[in-house]
Amino acid sequence: MPLKHTIAPLFAALISLGSLPAYPQKLPETSRPEPKAPARPSRIIVETLPSAQVYLDDEFKGQASAAGRLVIGNANPGEHALRVSLAGRQEYKEQITVAVGTDSLVKASLPQLEQPPPGPEPTTPAKPSRIIVETLPSAQVYLDDEFKGQASAAGRLVIGNANPGEHALRVSVAGREEYKEQIILAVGKDSLVKASLPEAEQPPSPIRDNTGPPQQTDDLAVDSLITKLLKAWQSGDVETLRKCYASNVLVVSGLWEPPVLGLDNYISAYQRQMERVQDAQVNRSNTFIRVQGMVAWAVYQWAFTGRVDGQTTSFRGHTTLVLEKRDGRWVIMTNHTSIAETPPKQ
């Protein structure tokens, strides 16, 4: 390449650089606008009662001072819902319009709420009605044929919360005449009943006819009743069981469960029990019987064998019976049965 072709561009560049001015050019002067002062924030000044709560657009803004004043700063211009409330006072509500850079003064009056008329005086609940029975110790007390309990050692029983109205009261104890009375119970009152239980008259001894068969003694009658009872229990003879027991019998089983009161309740429990028992056999031994007037006690041991829930089982235990002679025949008043532990084999 010829030399003049390489020097020409460089020379042109030097010419261009040489054409620049030797001193900087002065830019034309322009005027700058003065900066605007920021607008003053808008405020809402609330004057009301001390401790009143102030809300703006349902947002809690604070509680009025002891002088009853609250300032809401930096409030956005525009329309707002102001609400002021205080316990026991009518609520204050107002729609306010906040302008840019201004203070809005709101005087929120909170008049007292109208008190509702006083309601009726609370009524004092009526005192519960009671029946206080004074009788012999251990006497059994029934109200409308429902067992209410046994008199204490001092011969006293209180039936609480009894319904007002007419009731049939009955008190009994073995060897004594039964006490019966119709009583009328008033609301919130105590009714005192003194139930005397004189000794029952002993029936005259029957004249024995030596020409006929000998009459059965009470001891033998009680023993015969126990035999009939166990035979009926094994065979499921409910009708015979009912004849052996008094209607108000008390039965205590050998299990950890409440006593059963009343013949119907006992029969129901017996039938549920026998649904699980098959081939039951009960053998009685060591029977002791004591008779005193119209009352008798019997104690005996027993051994049970059979199947319970399909498994062969055996138990041994004791039974104590308390009997009473009614209308010439013995019936069981109390049956207390317990299971004895089997002694270890030697």
One pLDDT digit (tens) per residue for the chain, 346 residues: 454 444 444 444 444 444 445 455 555 565 666 666 666 788 999 999 999 999 999 999 899 999 989 999 888 899 999 999 998 899 999 999 988 888 889 998 989 888 777 777 767 667 788 999 999 998 999 999 999 899 999 999 999 888 899 999 999 988 889 999 999 988 888 999 999 989 887 655 444 444 444 446 899 999 999 999 999 998 889 999 999 999 999 999 877 888 999 999 999 988 998 888 888 888 999 999 999 999 999 999 999 898 988 898 888 999 999 999 998 899 999 999 988 876 655 5
- Provide the domain count of the chain: 3
What CATH number has the domain bearing residue 279? Answer: 3.10.450.50
253 touches 336 (CB < 8 A): no
DSSP 238: H
Domain with 89, as residue range(s), is 43-107
- Judgement on whether residues 51 and 142 belong to the same structural domain of the protein: no
Cβ neighbour number for residue 82 with a 10 Å cutoff: 21
- Judgement on whether residues 182 and 259 belong to the same structural domain of the protein: no
Separation CA 303–CA 283 (nearest Å): 5
What's at 39, amino acid-wise?
A: A
Could you tell me if residue 4 is inside a domain? Answer: no
Could you tell me if residue 273 is inside a domain? Answer: yes
Could you tell me if residue 307 is inside a domain? Answer: yes
Separation CA 293–CA 51 (nearest Å): 88
Q: What pLDDT, on a 0 to 100 scale, did the predictor assign at position 129?
A: 87
340 touches 300 (CB < 8 A): no
- Judgement on whether residues 332 and 293 belong to the same structural domain of the protein: yes
| Beta bridge partners of residue 142, listed in sequence order | 147, 170
**pTM of the full structure:** 0.40
Q: What pLDDT, on a 0 to 100 scale, did the predictor assign at position 161?
A: 85
- Judgement on whether residues 99 and 144 belong to the same structural domain of the protein: no
- Judgement on whether residues 252 and 186 belong to the same structural domain of the protein: no
Could you tell me if residue 12 is inside a domain? Answer: no
200 touches 179 (CB < 8 A): no
- Judgement on whether residues 223 and 334 belong to the same structural domain of the protein: yes
Pairing outcome for strands 53-56 and 156-159: unpaired
Q: What separation, in Å, do the N-terminal and C-terminal C-alpha atoms of the chain show?
A: 139
Tokens of 200: 């029952």
3-state class (DSSP) for residue 170: strand
Could you tell me if residue 308 is inside a domain? Answer: yes
149-166: burial string, b at 16+ Cβ within 10 Å, e else: eebeeebebebeebeeee
3-state class (DSSP) for residue 231: helix
Q: What pLDDT, on a 0 to 100 scale, did the predictor assign at position 20?
A: 46
Separation CA 346–CA 326 (nearest Å): 48
Could you tell me if residue 14 is inside a domain? Answer: no
- Judgement on whether residues 177 and 286 belong to the same structural domain of the protein: no
What CATH number has the domain bearing residue 57? Answer: 2.60.40.1120
Q: Which residues contact 311 (CB under 8 A, 6 or more apart)?
A: none
Could you tell me if residue 290 is inside a domain? Answer: yes
- Judgement on whether residues 174 and 228 belong to the same structural domain of the protein: no
Spatial strand order of the sheet with 69-72 comes to 69-72, 43-47, 103-107
Q: What pLDDT, on a 0 to 100 scale, did the predictor assign at position 24?
A: 54
Q: What pLDDT, on a 0 to 100 scale, did the predictor assign at position 36?
A: 65
- Judgement on whether residues 299 and 224 belong to the same structural domain of the protein: yes
- Judgement on whether residues 256 and 335 belong to the same structural domain of the protein: yes
Q: What pLDDT, on a 0 to 100 scale, did the predictor assign at position 160?
A: 86
Could you tell me if residue 182 is inside a domain? Answer: yes
- Judgement on whether residues 71 and 144 belong to the same structural domain of the protein: no
Separation CA 335–CA 323 (nearest Å): 9
- Judgement on whether residues 308 and 268 belong to the same structural domain of the protein: yes
Q: What pLDDT, on a 0 to 100 scale, did the predictor assign at position 340?
A: 85
Separation CA 222–CA 321 (nearest Å): 10
